[in-house]
């Protein structure tokens, strides 16, 4: 509860920073313009705007990271997942299909979409084809998702290697050691990927 309130406070402080930055930039621009000339005043105005915007963006990213840790980031959980063996609907928390016992779930009924869209949520466990743990989903992109691996560099895994999944974990069609040697994109060491 405290972390949620802190995340909301961060969001409000970022918005306050943007508003304060505009008024501060005007005041600094006018003061510098009177002392050193209009060109320097305009330069000071834009310097304060850029500095304030950078601070606000940093606060928003910090808040986004905190919300991701709390499980509020990303898309809402779907109402139902569909078994890719028999097509029956299951709850997002189901580990196996009640009708056939299948382990493969996706957002669409098999055969209705040109390509199955697997349900990938931040915080899901990622396992290899043998059931060995690889890591946890950290971020989603359009064609891949970032997997945080313990004691190893995070790696972007393409959706095409997902063999199955349910509401809690994703099973890949490759072995865990192949993930490290795959040549897939890796996250930056110091910059957050987007």
- Residue 25 pLDDT: 92
State whether 114 and 46 are in the same domain. no
Render pLDDT for 95-130 as a digit per residue (tens, 0 to 9). Answer: 778 888 877 777 767 655 545 556 787 888 999 888
Domain with 26, as residue range(s), is: 2-70
| CA within 13 Å, CB half, 29 | 16
pLDDT (0 to 100) of residue 175: 86
Contacting residues for 62 by C-beta, under 8 A, at least 6 apart? 10
Do 114 and 63 have their domain in common? no
52 and 100 co-located in one domain: no
User: Does the residue 176 lie in any domain?
Assistant: yes
DSSP-derived 3-state class of residue 44: helix
CA distances from 6 to 30, 40, 57, 70, 139 (A): 35, 39, 17, 11, 22
Residues 152 and 89 placed together within one structural domain of the fold: yes
Output the domain CATH number for residue 126: 2.30.30.240
| 89 and 171 housed in the same domain | yes
Same-domain check for residues 89 and 173? yes
Do 88 and 36 lie in one domain? The reply is no
- Same structural domain, 176 and 86: yes
Q: Would you say residue 31 lies in a domain?
A: yes
Do 116 and 88 fall into the same domain? Answer: yes
User: What dihedral do alpha carbons 165, 129, 96, 135 form, nearest 10°?
Assistant: -50
Q: Structural domain tally of the chain?
A: 2
- Which residues of the chain carry a pLDDT beneath 70? 1, 68-79, 108, 110-118, 167, 185-194
Q: Residue 44: what pLDDT?
A: 94
| Residue 76 within a domain | no
């Amino acid at each position: 509860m405290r972390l949620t309130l802190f995340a909301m406070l961060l969001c409000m402080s970022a918005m306050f920073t943007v508003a304060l930055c505009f008024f501060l930039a005007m005041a600094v621009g006018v003061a510098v313009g009177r002392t050193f000339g209009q060109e320097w005043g305009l330069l000071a105005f834009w310097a304060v705007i850029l500095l304030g915007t950078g601070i606000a963006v940093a606060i928003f990213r910090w808040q986004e990271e905190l919300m991701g840790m709390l499980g509020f980031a990303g898309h809402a959980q779907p109402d139902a997942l569909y078994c890719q063996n028999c097509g029956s609907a299951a709850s997002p928390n189901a580990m196996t299909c009640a009708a056939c016992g299948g382990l493969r779930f996706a957002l669409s009924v098999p055969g209705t979409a040109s390509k199955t869209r697997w349900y990938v949520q931040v915080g899901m466990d990622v396992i290899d084809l043998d059931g060995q743990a690889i890591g946890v989903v950290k971020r989603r992109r359009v064609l891949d998702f970032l997997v945080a691996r313990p004691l190893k560099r995070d790696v972007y895994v393409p959706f095409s290697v997902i063999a199955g999944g349910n509401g809690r974990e994703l099973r890949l069609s490759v072995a865990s050691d192949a993930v490290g040697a795959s040549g897939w994109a890796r996250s930056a060491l110091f910059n957050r990927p987007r």
